[in-house]
Structure 1
Amino acid sequence: MLRRLYDWTMSLAARKSAEIWLAIIAFVESSVFLVPADVLYVPMALAKPERAYRYAVVATTASVLGGIAGWALGYYAYDTIARPILEFYGKIDAFEQLRVFIQGQWEIVLLMLVTSGLAHLPPIKVVTILAGVVQMNLGFFIISAIVARGARFLFLAWLLRRYGESIRHFIEKRLGQITAIVAGLLIVLGVGYKLLA
């Protein structure tokens, strides 16, 4: 099923309505969808490099709006909507462990929002829902999401504009690994700080 979702998302990049689909995928990725918007963003930006930054702004805006929807699901409808979504993706146990670990300290959620926004670690939908559940300040959440998601998409735009097709393999294979390592280090530092404090 995951492969079919991936292939379907990739096929959207060739359509005239690709920009609308990018916004839709970025929105739902931040609240309920499994496939990251990068899958659609990268081929679109490679096909039209002059629009890479425009696409980055579209993806960032839609992703932040989707994050707000995820926050609202966690804040207002955890048991009725968000929990079944997390169960569907098999993320409920990890979510509950994070929820217990955080115990209302949304500073840790902020750190996860940054690492998730940059490297999908943990998945963005898990963090946005968690932010709502722990009642993270919505204004602070929005600013953090803009910075985290904007940094990711704008950095991808810069790489694609500067290096073009030659950077595609690196982005698809290595960039995720590198940012996941950096994100993992940030999480370890945050957890270490919490334990020492």
Structure 2
Amino acid sequence: MLKRLYDWTLDRAASPHAERFLGFVSFADSSFFPVPPDIMLIPMALAEPKKALRYAAIATVTSVLGAILGYAIGALLFDAVAKPLLSFYGYLPVFENFQARFNAHGWLIMFLFAFTPLPYKVATIAAGATGLSLPAVVLMSILGRGGRFFLVALLMRRFGAQAAAIIDRHFHKLALTFVALLLGSFLVLHYAA
């Protein structure tokens, strides 16, 4: 099933709407959506390595805009929107512990959540709810998300053909590794809070 999704995404990477879809996923991931933009960015960069940096720029800009929405949800709509959203994803108990320590290390936390597979929406909503400086959120979003997306884009641009061959040959192992890293990040989030 994952291989079919990967192949489908590669096919869509060449469509005229691929950049818009990447932008939507990147925007939504930073505020309310559970799917990371890497699922679009990597296949798109593999399909067209010369456009990889453009794709990274789209993902970065829309992700930062999504982070501002996540911040607004936390700052303006925490009780009405953020609590039910966090509860829906099972993050509310974690968030309550996380909020207590957030402002002390907010800059570092924003960067780590932006750069790693940890759910970035939790950090953006927490930043708004705890009153972390919006310029800090924007700066750490640019550095963390931009660093992550441009690193992926540069790797795909430089090693695109080899990366595609490796992914095709070892797709199932890579998919299992990604799932393990994702689950590990949730465990880190759970026990760090």
Q: Which runs of 5+ in 1 are unaligned?
A: 192-197
Contact kept, 8 Å, 2:114 with 2:140, in 1: the verdict is no
Match of 2:61 in 1: 61
Match of 1:23 in 2: 23
1:119 matched to 2:116: yes
Contact kept, 8 Å, 1:109 with 1:130, in 2: the verdict is no
Sequence identity of aligned pairs in percent? 35
Q: TM-score, normalised by structure 1?
A: 0.78
Would you say how many aligned residue pairs link Structure 1 and Structure 2?
177
Which runs of structure 2 are paired with 1:89-128 in the superposition (5 Å)? 89-102=89-102, 106-121=103-118, 123-128=119-124
Contact kept, 8 Å, 1:12 with 1:21, in 2: the verdict is no
Which runs of structure 2 are paired with 1:119-158 in the superposition (5 Å)? 119-121=116-118, 123-158=119-154
Distance change (3 Å), C-alpha of 1:159 and 1:112: same
1:49 matched to 2:49: yes
* CA RMSD across the alignment: 3.1
**CA distances 1:82-109 after superposition (whole Å, capped 9, x unpaired):** 111111111111111101333xxx2422
Distance change (3 Å), C-alpha of 1:87 and 1:61: same
Q: Which runs of 5+ in 2 are unaligned?
A: none
Q: TM-score, normalised by structure 2?
A: 0.80
Shift of 1:115: 1.2
Contact kept, 8 Å, 2:74 with 2:124, in 1: the verdict is yes
**CA distances 1:137-175 after superposition (whole Å, capped 9, x unpaired):** 11121111101100000000111011114335498647x
